Amino acid sequence: MDPKETVAALEVKPEIANPLVQEVMERSGQPLLACYQCRRCAAGCPVGEETGFVTPDRLIRMINLGDREAALNNALVWQCVSCYTCGTRCPNDIMTGRITETLKKMAKEAHLEPLKPKVAFFHNTFVRSGLRWGRLNEGEFITLYELKIFLKDALRFRFKAIYNEIKSQIKLALSMMGRKRLHFGIQSSQGRREIKRLYKKSKAKRAS
């Protein structure tokens, strides 16, 4: 067989894929159809043991099979730490971290209850802070994030959870301050208008 024919047989053809694969490929920029399930990504994923059976290769399989419900509603989408180990190991350069980020946004747009509400709070607060200032301001970010957690627990009368959260955050804050890694001032990036403009543009594009 001519080697060129072999390459042609492995070409990704988004136009023949199911709508879910098309959407995720377009939004994440990742060639999901090139995945041949070798599982090299799964071997290096640091959160693989905490996500049940969902490893990067399996998440990609769900999408390629068109299982929207499973793809949008699983622990890896919320627990992925965007370390990109999967991408560095993948022979096809598939960055699952970009796929989980895309699925998070899609789950949010579909108004699905997040499997990990704290991660959803973290994500939303992070994005808003970035949009407001063009960069993250740790003091503002952590205050707003903790406020959301506090309100959620207070409305459910979960006082023990509030106590544990405060205790663990004070410990973390002291440790970060000891290393001069926590800053309370507000700084804005020169390009914040540009970031807002790009965000609005991508939102409008998705809505059209």
Which residues contribute to the site for ligand SF4 (CB under 6 A)? 35-41, 44-47, 56-57, 60, 80-86, 89-92, 94, 96-97, 100
CB-nearer residue toward ligand SF4: 35 or 72? 35
**Closest residue by Cα to residue 147 from 125, 172, 127:** 125
CB-nearer residue toward ligand SF4: 45 or 106? 45
Supply the minimum distance, in Å, between the C-beta of residue 28 and ligand SF4: 12
CB-nearer residue toward ligand SF4: 115 or 131? 115
DSSP state of 14: G
CB-nearer residue toward ligand SF4: 44 or 130? 44
Supply the minimum distance, in Å, between the C-beta of residue 69 and ligand SF4: 20
Provide the 3-class DSSP secondary structure of residue 102: helix
Supply the minimum distance, in Å, between the C-beta of residue 32 and ligand SF4: 8
DSSP state of 193: H
List for the chain the helix, strand, coil content (%; round to 5): 65, 0, 35
Supply the minimum distance, in Å, between the C-beta of residue 181 and ligand SF4: 22
Cα–Cα distance, 177 to 160 (Å, whole number): 26
